[in-house]
């Protein structure tokens, strides 16, 4: 497996697809990198030479923030929004969507699993709940 930017990219896939395993590189950036280095997109990652790997790393480092730098930059941006008390920062703090999505129904990715609120109808469960609360 070739190692780029601290990530082992899969060697059985085309290099165009393998580059996407690096955080911060998607389909468009992958194509740009291969055009700049003049490497065939259909080539398998396992067949890359050491010079080609060095060229890819040089192009990535010269042009973009990827992996740890990108993650650090994003987390600092979020921390800044929270510290200045902006609306988006408060949504991040509460774990709710920041970009105007509805929260009455969906938003389960940000909010987490459903927490049912209401009366327990089964008498045995109710007594077990009371016993558990008394034991606290």
**pLDDT by residue (tens digit) across 49-60?**
999 999 999 999
Pairing of strands 3-4, 7-8: antiparallel
Residues 84-103 have a mean pLDDT of 93
According to the model, what pLDDT value does residue 81 have? 96
Alpha-carbon distance of 2 to 78, in angstroms, equals: 33
The gap between the terminal CA atoms of the chain, to the nearest Å, is 53
Instruction: Please check whether residue 107 is in contact with residue 97, taking contact to mean a CB–CB distance below 8 angstroms.
Output: yes
Distance set, CA 87 to CA 8, 95, 102 (Å): 39, 12, 15
pLDDT at residue 113 tops 70: yes
**pLDDT by residue (tens digit) across 19-35?**
999 999 999 999 999 99
According to the model, what pLDDT value does residue 58 have? 94
């Amino acid at each position: 497996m070739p190692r780029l930017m601290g990530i082992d990219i899969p060697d059985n896939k085309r290099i165009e697809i393998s580059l996407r395993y690096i955080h911060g590189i998607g389909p468009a950036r992958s194509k740009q990198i291969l055009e700049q280095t003049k490497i065939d997109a259909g080539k398998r990652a396992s067949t890359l030479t050491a010079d080609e790997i060095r060229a890819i790393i040089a192009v990535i480092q010269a042009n973009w923030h990827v992996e740890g730098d990108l993650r650090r930059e994003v987390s600092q941006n979020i921390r800044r929004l929270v510290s200045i008390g902006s609306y988006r920062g408060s949504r991040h703090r509460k774990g709710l969507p920041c970009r105007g999505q509805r929260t009455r129904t969906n938003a389960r990715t940000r909010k987490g699993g459903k927490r049912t609120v209401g009366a327990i109808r089964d008498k045995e469960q109710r007594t077990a709940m009371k016993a558990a609360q008394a034991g606290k």
